[in-house]
């Protein structure tokens, strides 16, 4: 079965890391992937290692808007960007389209309809879709939701339950595995420091400001605590937010204990250098980085909303805290830093859960079951 995967950006965040690991594990004797991305970029380079064919086609990065001029521009642009996809499908035999995001599905769903092909819409966000949800659902044969939280969100948009399969993202447990890191000295940290890390795009809903404010509280009683922020404003949409975080670090007097590392390719090494991972998002659909850290036997702290409570079990493999609550986050961070043995115990339980529930082999198997269900449909 030849499957056309569509991804609307060439940068790498959780959706792309998840696509890369899915393609890496796909049974290539049964499924032949072809990928379409907007152009060269970090994703494209890594896709070439797991997919024999990577093609380019334009995608429109739609933003939610009520601006009539923008809506008019989008309505005119979409047919233009769907055309190259349809042209590709006319010239090449493809049996199924797998759209790796909602924006990709806007293009993939339309192309699939024109060509009478089965189509999978991979839903990785909790963005309100309004009445568009039902339109998108009509263009798709099966929806993959990355968490129960996403499934509930879709059902609230009146999407029929039988169309939705919940398939959590998985990680390669041999890559994301407990190991030592030699990164600390280059960051100015020693083994005596307790290092908290946040690995997330620099976008407001990830809650970096809460991490920094909690860090300021923690630093008052735990002088050996250190704080890493890893990730970037990938699409350049939030320059003021990034500047604000730098100013906040300064005004909290945290320059000596906080490091901003920007986007890192060597995320396994970065995670290995941490004592605990923190993800204080306001409404996280899944939170792949939690699973990566758990697979590396790191204790995690996450907010109790969206996907994370399906991943993290409070006081078993990590801690869950209420959203946008600086004191609760600081308390949780202190509990870990003050009891290294317990922290390590939580980390080991995290690895065990990752082995049970987030092995990429499971994700691949469940996704292939969806492909089999759709074989020959259109
Ligand atoms: N990541 C990375 N380098 C960075 C920051 C993040 O490779 O500097 C990866 C991280 O390992 C994870 C993904 O980007 O696989 C982020 O996924 P997640 O689902 O946590 O967040 P998203 O950005 O997709 O909302
Ligand atoms: C999206 C979500 C994130 C999820 C990722 C992979 O980027 O924000 O929570 O882990 O997709 O599915």
Asked if 142 and 217 sit in the same domain, the reply is: no
Ligand 2 neighbourhood includes 287 CB (under 6 angstroms): yes
248: confidence class by pLDDT, cuts 50, 70, 90: very high
If asked whether residues 206 and 234 sit together in one domain, one would say: yes
211, 280 Cβ separation under 8 angstroms: yes
Percent of the chain residues topping a pLDDT of 70: 100
d(CA 75, CA 344): 53
Contact of 232 with 198, CB cutoff 8 Å:
no
Residues 329 and 364 in one domain: no
- The CATH number covering residue 227 comes to 3.40.50.2000
What pTM value is reported for the model? 0.96
Contacts 24+ apart (CB under 8 A), 343-347: 343/275, 343/276, 343/299, 344/297, 344/299, 346/299, 346/315, 346/316, 346/317, 346/318, 346/319, 347/178, 347/294, 347/296, 347/297, 347/298, 347/299, 347/317
Q: How far apart are CA 95 and CA 220, in angstroms?
A: 59
Mean pLDDT of 357-375: 98
Binned at pLDDT 50, 70 and 90, residue 101 comes out as very high
Q: In three state form, how does the secondary structure of 59-102 look?
A: CCCCCCCCCHHHHHHHHHHHHHHHHHHHHHHHHCCCCEEEECCH
Instruction: Specify the pLDDT at position 132.
Output: 86
- Candidates 5, 14, 143, 169: which one to mutate for ligand 2, based on the most atoms within 8 Å of Cβ? 14
- pLDDT bin (cut points 50, 70, 90) of residue 72 is confident
Is residue 304 in some structural domain?
Answer: yes
Sign (positive or negative) of CA dihedral 229, 232, 208, 301: negative
Asked if 157 and 208 sit in the same domain, the reply is no
Q: Nearest bound ligand to CA 202?
A: 1
Could you tell me if the CB of 21 is within 6 A of ligand 2? Answer: no
CA of 126 to the centre of ligand 2 (A): 10
For residues 164 and 137, membership in a common domain is answered with: yes
Expressed in angstroms and rounded, the spacing between residue 21 Cα and the centre of ligand 1 is 13
Domain count within the chain: 2
Tell me which of 36-45, 110-119, 128-137, 325-334 is least confident.
128-137
One domain for residues 321 and 353: yes
Give CA–CA dist 167/204, Å, rounded. 27
The alpha carbon dihedral of 127, 129, 134, 135 has a sign of: negative
From the CB of 14, is ligand 2 less than 6 Å away?
yes
Token readout for 242 is 């990034």
Q: Is residue 140 part of a domain?
A: yes
Q: What is the pLDDT of residue 304?
A: 98
Please compute the mean of the pLDDT values over residues 127-146 and round it to a whole number: 92
The ligand 1 atom at the shortest distance from the C-alpha of residue 271 is 11
Q: Domain check: are 43 and 162 in the same one?
A: yes
Residue 215 tokens read as: 């860090």
Same domain, 266 and 229: yes
Please give the number of the atom of ligand 1 that sits closest to the Cα of 18: 15
Residue 66 pLDDT > 80, yes or no? no
293 CA from centroid of ligand 2 (Å): 15
Residue 32 pLDDT > 80: yes
Judge contact between 101 and 122, C-beta under 8 A: yes
Is the distance from CB of 37 to CB of 7 less than 8 angstroms? yes
Instruction: Assign 67 a pLDDT band (cuts: 50, 70, 90).
Output: confident
Residue 176 counted as domain residue: no
Least confident of 77-86, 112-121, 177-186, 198-207: 77-86
pLDDT attached to residue 163: 96
In the chain, where do the E strands start and end?
2-6, 32-37, 53-56, 96-99, 119-123, 142-145, 164-166, 194-199, 225-230, 258-262, 276-279, 300-303, 318-321
pLDDT for the residue numbered 378: 73
The pLDDT value recorded for residue 76 is 77
For the chain, the average pLDDT equals: 95
Together in a domain, 245 and 347: yes
What is the per-residue pLDDT across 278-315, written as a single tens digit (0 to 9) for each? 999 999 999 999 999 999 999 999 999 999 999 999 99
Residue 45 belongs to a domain = yes
Q: Is residue 10 a part of any domain in this protein?
A: yes
Same domain, 214 and 125: no
Specify if 217 maps to a domain. Answer: yes
Here the tokens at position 169 are: 């993202």
My answer on whether 214 and 331 are in the same domain is: yes
Is residue 178 situated within a structural domain?
no
User: In the chain, what percentage of residues exceed pLDDT 90?
Assistant: 89
* Two tokens, residue 108: 């993939």
Instruction: State residue 311's pLDDT score.
Output: 98
Same structural domain, 204 and 341: yes
Domain span at 23: 2-170+360-374
């Amino acid at each position: 079965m030849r499957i056309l995967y569509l991804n609307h950006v060439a940068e790498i965040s959780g959706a792309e890391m998840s696509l890369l690991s899915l393609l890496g594990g796909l049974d290539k004797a049964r499924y032949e992937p072809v990928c379409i991305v907007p152009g060269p970029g970090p994703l494209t380079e890594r896709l070439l290692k797991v997919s024999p064919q990577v093609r380019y086609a334009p995608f429109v990065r739609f933003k939610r808007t009520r601006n009539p001029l923008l809506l008019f521009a989008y309505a005119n642009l979409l047919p233009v960007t769907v055309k190259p996809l349809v042209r590709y499908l006319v010239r090449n035999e493809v049996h199924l389209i797998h759209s790796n995001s909602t924006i990709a599905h806007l293009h993939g769903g339309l192309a699939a309809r024109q060509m009478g092909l089965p189509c999978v819409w991979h839903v990785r966000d909790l963005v309100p879709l309004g009445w568009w949800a039902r339109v998108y659902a009509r263009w798709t044969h099966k929806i993959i939701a990355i968490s129960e939280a996403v499934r509930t969100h879709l059902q609230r948009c009146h999407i029929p339950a039988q169309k939705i399969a919940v398939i959590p993202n998985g990680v390669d447990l041999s890559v994301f595995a407990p190991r030592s890191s030699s990164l600390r000295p280059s960051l100015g940290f020693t083994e005596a420091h307790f290092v908290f890390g946040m690995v997330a795009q620099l976008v407001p809903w990830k809650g970096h400001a809460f991490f920094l404010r909690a860090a300021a509280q923690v630093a008052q009683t735990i002088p050996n605590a250190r704080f890493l922020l890893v990730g970037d404003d990938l699409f350049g949409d939030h320059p003021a937010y990034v500047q604000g975080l730098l100013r906040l670090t300064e005004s909290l007097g945290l320059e000596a204990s906080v490091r901003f590392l920007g986007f890192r390719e060597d995320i396994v090494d970065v995670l290995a250098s941490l004592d605990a991972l923190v993800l204080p998002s306001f409404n996280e659909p899944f939170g792949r980085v939690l699973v990566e850290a758990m697979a590396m036997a790191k204790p995690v702290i996450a907010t109790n909303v969206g996907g994370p409570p399906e991943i993290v079990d409070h006081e078993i493999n990590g801690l869950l805290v209420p959203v946008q609550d600086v004191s609760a986050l600081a308390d949780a961070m202190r509990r870990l830093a003050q009891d290294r043995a317990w922290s390590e115990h939580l980390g080991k339980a995290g690895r065990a859960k990752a082995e049970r529930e987030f092995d990429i082999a499971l994700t691949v198997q469940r996704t292939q079951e969806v492909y089999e269900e759709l074989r020959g449909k259109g």
